[in-house]
Amino acid sequence: MATLTIPNVYTTGEVIDAGEMNANFTAVKNFAEGLSTGVNFDAGAIGSEDIADSAITTAKIASSAVTTAKIASSVTLTTPNIGTATATAIAVTNNVVYHIQTTLTSGAYTLVLTDDGKVVEMNNASGTTLTVPLNSSVAFPVGSQITVLQTGAGQTTVAGAVGVTINGTPGLKLRAQWSAATLLKRATDTWVIIGDLSA
């Protein structure tokens, strides 16, 4: 911490001048007020061990006070969700690694909102149906993509609930065991399926 300098010093028995005493008090006052703004703290005087948990909040950080230049390169971002990217394009350097989650099914299955971006495995010994629900019951965002993988011998048929249109060629059935196709939502209740299909 910076040194507090007292302008006037007295010895025992010496007469104290009012103006000099006021100057001493003013020096102490100015030093203390400087502490509240960080003026009189030496660099590195406050370590992480001196800061209480949750003591630094967004409201206490001045606008533009935290910049990339002020963040050490050793800081690692570990938050699993960094928010929504709003740019029209994202420049990526090196590899982006992502792991698709899987929904395992047996029997007929109707898609749910959490299937967006996943692989839905249809594992059935006999033929069964995967149903795409109406937007009014499950509001998938336009642009949603869901991959359907037939892992069982039973053929999977993809069908829309009443009011849902699914376009695909040559048909809406997965061709054979281990065939896969991707559903893409194009409008409110309109989808297209692309992949290893049969009539």
- Classify residue 140: in a domain, yes or no: yes
Whole-model pTM: value is 0.59
- Classify residue 96: in a domain, yes or no: no
What confidence score (pLDDT) does residue 164 get?
A: 98
- Classify residue 154: in a domain, yes or no: yes
From the list 115, 85, 113, the residue with the least C-alpha distance to 103 is 115
What confidence score (pLDDT) does residue 126 get?
A: 96
- Together in a domain, 34 and 121: no
- Together in a domain, 108 and 191: yes
- Classify residue 86: in a domain, yes or no: no
CATH classification of the domain holding 127: 2.60.120.640
Are 192 and 167 in contact by the 8 Å Cβ rule? The answer is yes
What confidence score (pLDDT) does residue 79 get?
A: 60
- Classify residue 159: in a domain, yes or no: yes
Contacts of 105 (CB under 8 A, 6+ apart): 120, 121, 122, 123, 130
Three-state DSSP class for 28? helix
Q: CA-CA distance, 109 to 139, in Å (whole number)?
A: 17
Q: Count the domains in the chain.
A: 2
- Together in a domain, 108 and 57: no
The mean pLDDT value of the chain amounts to 87
- Together in a domain, 168 and 114: yes
Tokens of 129: 């149906």
- In sequence order, what DSSP letters do the residues of 68-131 get, joined into one string? GGGS-TT-----S------SS-----S-------EEEE-S-EE--GGGTTSEEEE--SS-EEEE
Taking the chain (199 residues) in runs of 10, the rounded mean pLDDT of each run is: 84 90 91 76 69 72 70 63 70 82 94 96 96 98 97 97 98 98 98 98
- Owning domain of residue 193: 102-198
How far is the first Cα of the chain from the last one, in angstroms, to the nearest whole number? Answer: 80
- Together in a domain, 133 and 175: yes
- Together in a domain, 107 and 52: no
From the list 98, 103, 74, 1, the residue with the least C-alpha distance to 42 is 1
What confidence score (pLDDT) does residue 195 get?
A: 98
Single residue among 27, 46, 70 that ends a domain in this structure? 70
pLDDT in tens, 48-59: 776 777 777 766
- Together in a domain, 108 and 159: yes
* Number of Cβ atoms within 10 Å of the Cβ of 105: 20
Residues in the chain: 199
- Together in a domain, 121 and 187: yes
Q: CA-CA distance, 104 to 120, in Å (whole number)?
A: 6
What confidence score (pLDDT) does residue 81 get?
A: 64
